[in-house]
Amino acid sequence: MKDINFDLKQLRSFLSVVEHRSFTRASRVLRLGQATVSNHVSALEEALGVELIRRSSREFRLTPRGEVFREFCERQLASIDSLRNELAGASAAGVGVVAASTIPSAYLLPAAIAAVVRANPDVRYRLDVSDSREVIEMIKEGSAEIGVSGRSVRHPLLDFERIHRDELVLVAPIEGYPDALTPADLAKLPLVSREKGSGSREALERALLGSGVSPSDLKVVLECTTSEGLREAVAAGIGMGFVSRLAVSAPAIPQGLKIVRTGPFEIRRDIFLVYQSGKKLSRPAELLADELRAAFGRGGGNASAPAGPKRS
């Protein structure tokens, strides 16, 4: 019997295709070409000598052998994550890798990390900042131990713990814009928006639809990948924009910027601590998770009611 050869990139491609039931969506999430993802799965099928996925224009499903291989892949990746954590825990100092979306990275995590480091001088962190969708992907693939995200998803391998309730407010230049607007008025004025995949963008679109306004009707003149970039673009006069109240609380609000009243139209969203279900956290990750719960968890709760991460 010939040796079976495959690599981790192929396993991740296979699992992503299975999760999203689409080569196209998997390629977008993995940030790989669709042809690359397809080649990864084809190479696995050739190496194993079996059909893993039955796909046609009318159906997409795992074969029975594909189900067996999916369980194998999940076990292997979980073992690799466990090894990574054990190796990290063996270090005297220890470095915790944290993924966070822009608002938590700027306004929630600095104080929490500072408190942990003051009490534990041997602990260090690396903070990766991205949008909420990418934060969740980093936790899924194990490139970060814990994340702080402005959105949550249903996933069997992830737990989301609500730690903060945020509010989005409409900001505009002081001159040339009204002091109050209704949701219907939003389509009449230029808007600066966050990019797709951000928790802020998702919360805004959900609230608009709930008020009978289609997000496609908005006059979006600029998309920004950070809340600070959106805030500064509005201050420069490009248009209005919705941003976390944390980003425009004194003294953070730039001169020439005002908060526009939107009456009963409110946009609230939860900020979550996210980690892999049942995963043993390294000491740095455990310390930071506990600090975030203590500092911001008042009035929060657990979105998926897990028992909590296992401690290493």
Question: With 80 as the cut, is the pLDDT of residue 267 above it?
Answer: yes
Which domains are present in the chain? Answer: 8-75 (1.10.10.10), 86-164+271-311 (3.40.190.10), 165-269 (3.40.190.10)
Residue 23: C-alpha distances to residues 30, 65, 227, 284 (Å): 10, 19, 31, 36
Both tokens of residue 53? 């996925």
Question: Tens digits of per-residue pLDDT, 173-199?
Answer: 998 999 999 988 988 999 999 988 888
CB-based contact 240:170 (threshold 8 Å): yes
The backbone torsions φ and ψ at residue 62, rounded to the nearest 5 degrees and listed phi first, read -75, 140
Residue 250: predicted pLDDT: 60
Burial level of 268, CB count in 10 A (0-12/13-18/19+)?
exposed
Beta strands in 38-145 (DSSP E): 53-55, 60-62, 95-100, 124-129
Q: How is residue 25 written in tokens?
A: 């969506």
- Per-residue model confidence as pLDDT tens digits over 122-141: 899 999 998 898 999 999 88
Its pTM stands at 0.62
The residues near 69 (Cβ < 8 Å, ≥ 6 apart) are 14, 44, 48, 50, 52
